[in-house]
Every structure is written in C-alpha cells, then in structure tokens.
Structure 1
Amino acid sequence: MPKTPLALMMVASLLFATSACQPPPAKPASDKLEAANNSDKPKPSAATQTPDETKTEPLVEAKTPKALTKALVALSETKLTNELICTKLNDTMQEIDNKSKFEDIHTIQRQLEVCLPTAGNSGILQWLAEYQALYGRFLSINQPVNEQSFYTLMNLAERGEKFPLAALKKVTPRIRYLLGLVESNADVNVLYLGKGDYTFHHDLKAMADLFIPYLPKDQSAFIQRLATDNQSVFWHDATIAIPFDQVLERAIFWQDYIQRYPNGYAIEDAKSLFAIYRYLLFFGSENTQWTDDELREFRDPAQQQAINQLGQSANSQLAQDAQGLIDFMALSASQRQKKYPAPSKNDNGDKLDKRQKAKYQLATALQIASPWQSDHKSDYKNCFTGIVCVDSSPS
C-alpha cells in the first residue's frame, strides 16, 4: 500500500529528530603539507569540504519535512558516489607514476579517509600495499642522475640547506619538482644510502598513521615497527648502518612479536626479520664486526655488558644464544676445535682464516645458520624500505 503524505511526514520528522541528536562526526586527519598550506586560509565552503564534513550537515540544518527529504536524497547520492570511488581506488592508485603531482596523492589520501572506515580487512591491506607501491613510482627517477649537481643538491637537501639556482638549472625538471617538495616540508625527504648515493624517500610514519586506526593489533604493530625502523637506512655495502644496541632491540622486538602473535599478520615476514637481526647480532656482517677476529672479546665494553644482561634475562631463544656466545668466547682454541671441529678449507677450497674458523664454530655452537643461505623464493623479501615487505626474488 502506498504511504500517505502524513506517514511520510512522520518518518521524515522522526529522522529529523534522530539526526539532530547525533554527535558531530570526527574530522579526518589532514597531512602536514595541506595543513601548512591552509593554515592561513578561511574555513572552506560546503562545496569544498570533505564528504565527512558535509554529508550530515543538510540533515541537521533541514527545517521542514520537504527539506529533510531532499537532504536524504542528496545523502544517498553521496553514498553511491563514495562507494564508486572506493571500488575504483585500486585503479586510481595504480595511475600514479613519476609524472604525477603531489596533489594527485592528496586526492587519494582524501579518498582513503572516506573509504577506510567501511572497508574489510583484506581490502585495507590491499590498499596499504598499493599505497606504498605508488610512492615508489612517484619518487622514482628514470633518467640518469649521476651529475655532480644532483649529488650536491641531494646533500644540501639532506642537511636542510638552501639550493643554489645554478645547480638547480643543471638537473631535470622532475628532480627540481621533488626537491621542491622536500623544501616545502611535504612527506618527501632525501635519504642517504651510503657511498655518496642518495634517493628520494617519504614519511613512513605518516603512511602508517593513515591505516593504523582501521587495523587489528597484530597488523598495526607490524607496520608501525617497520615505519619506525625503515625511516632510515639499515644496510648498505655489507655494512650495518645502525648501532649494536638497535640491532639487539630489534631482535628482541621480533622475538616478542612472534610469541605474542604466532598466527598474526605477515608472521613469516616477522620470522624472517627475527632471523636476520638474530644472526647479525651474534655474527655481525662482512664490514661490521662487533668482536675481535677470534671472537674472544667485544670491541666495545658496552656491547659485552648488553650480551651479559641478555644471557641473564628470562628464558628465550636470544637469552640462550647470548649465554652460548659467552660460553664459546671463554673456550680455548683447542677446546673449540675439539667440541666444534671446523674444516681447514671452505667449500671453494680456500683456507679458513681465524675469523672464518671462529664464525664456523660459533654457528655450530649456537645452531644459527645464515638467513641468506636459502634458495626458497619466499625468503626473497625486502622488509627494509617500507611498511610492507615486498617480493625481491630474482627474475
């Protein structure tokens, strides 16, 4: 039976009363560049406000059933528009490349603020991966950048100094554009990679903060940690770019994460990260050594103290490893060879030097293999540049 005008008025009046009692919606967080640009601007009109700011205002301001009906129709149209935007969001993000402008990313950020609150977890994680990938494309530089002017400008940008006009004229327009973003305090910066090399980077914390409110604890803990750790370089030219105490702290974090979330988000990536930090903690790297060549003592007494404390901590894999290292360092050369016999030559037929022999014996004592001695494709993951681990397997 069709509803009478009186019935429609009663429904509209009820909706009007309900909407009037609702608290105002929370405004989405804006990024720092937009905040800086808009700090001195007047309040935007309804035509330029975000959907969250405008979608309920007509309902609250409606004074008659007719006005409320029109507001409800407009609200339905806005909802349909937002749903269409969210459906196409993956495609929109994939359109970003190294010819796009920062305003294009702003648009996607605003769309995410609309879409994230109602999306399912799998969709959010997919957007997260796409969002990280789009920044990689946006900041990439296809053309050769080995000119001296480029390195001069990148060095100045890293130190927060002004760019000389003469040097700017010698680089490509895209590099000038990205340097302008760095200078204007957008979430783009310059990252030193070591050996005089640089790259453009972005604020990983800002990226994580956009998604964290909509993720469960295990997922938010994972991406928050990567956002913190990967804001600077961890590894370059077989050199560990962070100090010993940070390697120790990261190893402890991933050990605890695995225990806390055994079935959590990206658990295999978490195990891989733990294996890497665990290995580097006790063996160092080719160009970073914590001990003398024979693994008798640490070069820094503070590192020895940290290992002693770790060995005395609550029972855990790292505590057992630390105590095993302490015991190993106290053994004489003959005791080591008797307990952990080492070959005289490596697989290539070359004679083992003192360090190689000591590391071979320690690996046997601690039962720790190099995390890079694997041919499994799943082990080729890069977890050191973003907030999502990405496949880096050889093609």
Structure 2
Amino acid sequence: MPFKSIFKACLVIGGVLFLGGCQQPSDPQIQIEQTEAKQKQSPVNDFSLMCQNIEKNMSQINDQRTTFALEQINQDLKVCLPLMDLAEQKHLMLRSTEMYQRFLKVDRTEFQQRAFEQYALEMAQHPTIQQAHFQQLTPRDQYLLKHKNQAYVELLHLGNGNLQYRRSPEYLARIFAPYLPAAEKAFIENLAEQNKDPVLVEKRLQIEAPEIAARSLFWEDYLKTYPNSSYKRDAEYLLKQYTYFLFRGTEQSPVSEDYRDRYAVDTSHLETIIGLANGQKSKLSTQARLFLEFLDMNPEQRQQALPADYRNRSATEQILYYAQISPPSQKYDKDCFTDAICI
C-alpha cells in the first residue's frame, strides 16, 4: 500500500478512537467498542434498557478494555444516576470502584516491575525524553502509560519507587456527586479535593499545618451539619486522623520529640494551634487550649494534672490524654486518602 494511503488510514482510525496514535484497524476489541458506541448513539436508543443493563456492562470492563470503553460507561452513568435512589446510586458507586480496580490491574514479572518503576520515575523527571526500555514493559503498562489522564486514570508517585495507578478522586465528584443528596455530595466533593495530591509520602506529611487544621475543622463541621450522613463513620475517622496529624504528626514527621515546652514543638504547628486556641468555640479549639496549657506546665504541675496511671507514660501519651485527643484506629478497614470515598 502506498505510504500516503497508510497515513490517511491512520488519521481516520485515530480520529474515531481518540487514542493519541494510529491503532491497527484489525484490533477486535476496538472494533467491538466502536460498534457499541454507534449503537448507543442511535436515535431510538432505549434509555430505560440501557440503565437496566449498566451494571452488566460495568462488570465486563477488565484489564483488556480501553479508556474508550470506560468513557462510554461513564456517559451512561450520567444519564442513569438521576433516575435512581440513593441505595441504587451507592450500589453503582461500589461497582464503579470494582470496575476501575479490574481495569487498572497489571500482572508483571519481577523484571517487568523494575522496568515499570524505572520508566515511570524517569518520565516523571524527564517527561519529554523517549525512554529506550519502554518495550520492556507489559503491553498493559504500555497502554495505561500512554493513556494516563484519560477516563480519570492517573499514575500516583508515593516515593521510594512506589508507583501505582489509581482512579482520580475527581471521578466520583464529577460522575456521581451531582446526583446525590447534600450530605453525600458534600463528603465526596470535599474528600476529592483533599485527596487530589498525596497526603503522605513515605509516611511523611505532605500538607502544611494550616491546611491540616482546615481539614480538621471541616470534618468537625461536617459531622454537626450532617449528623445522619451515610458517611458519618468515615467522617469521624477523618476528623480523628487530621486532628492527630495536627497535634502529633507521624513517626517520620513528628510535631515534637518530647513536648517539654512550646519551643520543642514545630513552629508551623505551634502557630496554627495558637490560632485555633484563640478562635471560635469548637472541640478543636478546646483541644488546642488544653494542648498549650500542658506545654506551659512544669514537670510537677504535669504530675498533679494527670491521673496516676499516666504519670509514668511518655510525654506524647500524656499530652494527648490531657488535650483529649484520641489516636485514630490503627485497624480501620478503609483507605480514606486515595479516592473521594473511603475504599
């Protein structure tokens, strides 16, 4: 075939598939998805039948399908979700999470895993450089890397060679949240914004103290505003976690080593806590005032202020007890820092 004919064929097929490059027209999966798309665009399309079949269609998305197929499902969801009650919407939300988990699943050998980490990290540092070992990746990694940032697919860098694909938190905020009741809508939209960037990298906080305090205050206010939210348990966990981040930090980025006085506390956290203590009445402002009180006590005053079973404990345990700060559960069965809901 002459070169010009091949070039024209590539342009036509590439335009139909929205795939950033010329695909082989003989790809059976792409042909199937093109046919499905044409059927969905038919003027006699039966929306009620489409909504009845949407869960079945979602279950067929796996690690062999394309971002084009995902986009078709997401367009169908926008049509069907307004017609459903909350229980049905949340059921499809769960199915959508499972759908993306299947879509983003990649089986690699040890060699392929190393190649993936090396390629992705180098691309993060030098995105315009063509990497010679791209062909060492699995075909699925090659596809996902070419199409990241399409259909809400992202590549997340968590430090120390830890990379993982994820569904963008914006997915639920844009596809589901507009059709949900106020409590669920507020939860998803705000958690999506909070989790847009990683909160922790190698167990180190990536957000500053004022932002941690703002998130703590938001979740405290959320629980007051929506006491019957279906996400109440997750909101309580997030409030505890961000409160703990503010007053304690993490093992890799502690707020203080010994809490002996105000000078022993990270400056940014101390200034934020002082601001909270002087702010409007809230549980968080009360905790801030008690925290500062304990910092200002001498050792003898601390002993008198604590019950007998806390007098020989670490300074961290003592100040958290005095300031009425409960550590979050270490066995919480959900991840609340990756998506727009706790998975």
- TM-based fold match above 0.5: yes
Q: 1:86 aligns with which of 51, 54, 57?
A: 51
Partner of 2:315: 358
Deviations 1:185-222 (A, max 9, x none): 55322211122211112332144211222112211111
- The answer to whether residue 93 in structure 2 is matched with residue 136 in structure 1 is no
Assess if the C-alpha contact under 8 Å between 1:187 and 1:203 holds in 2: yes
Give the CA deviation at 1:159: 4.5
Query: What value does the CA root-mean-square deviation take over the aligned residues?
Result: 2.9
**Relative CO higher for 1 or 2, CA cutoff 8 Å, sep ≥ 6?**
2
Q: 1:181 to 1:119 in 2, by over 3 A?
A: same
Partner of 1:7: none
Q: 2:278 aligns with which of 312, 315, 323?
A: 312
2:271 match: secondary structure: helix
Assess if the C-alpha contact under 8 Å between 1:156 and 1:162 holds in 2: no
Give TM-score scaled by structure 2 length. 0.80
Q: 2:216 aligns with which of 242, 251, 273?
A: 251
- The answer to whether residue 96 in structure 2 is matched with residue 113 in structure 1 is no
How many residues end up aligned between the 2 structures?
310
Distance 2:82 2:146 in 1: 33
Q: 1:342 to 1:279 in 2, by over 3 A?
A: farther
Percent sequence identity over matched residues?
27
Distance 2:174 2:341 in 1: 14
Give TM-score scaled by structure 1 length. 0.71
Give the CA deviation at 1:317: 0.6
Partner of 1:385: 338
Q: 1:154 to 1:145 in 2, by over 3 A?
A: farther
Distance 1:272 1:316 in 2: 18
Partner of 1:195: 160
Assess if the C-alpha contact under 8 Å between 1:132 and 1:388 holds in 2: no
Distance 2:191 2:330 in 1: 24
Q: 1:98 aligns with which of 39, 43, 63?
A: 63
Which runs of no fewer than 5 residues in structure 2 stay unpaired?
Answer: 1-14, 20-36
Q: Which one has a bigger Cα radius of gyration?
A: 1
Distance 1:261 1:151 in 2: 42
Amino acid across the alignment from 1:110: Q
Of 153-162 and 172-181, more deviation after overlay is shown by 153-162
Partner of 1:332: 298
Q: 1:295 to 1:318 in 2, by over 3 A?
A: farther
Distance 1:364 1:204 in 2: 35
1:169 match: secondary structure: helix
Distance 1:49 1:174 in 2: 27
Distance 1:163 1:171 in 2: 16
1:303 match: secondary structure: helix
Deviations 1:213-242 (A, max 9, x none): 211221111111121122222235443332
Distance 1:114 1:138 in 2: 22
Q: 1:249 to 1:361 in 2, by over 3 A?
A: same
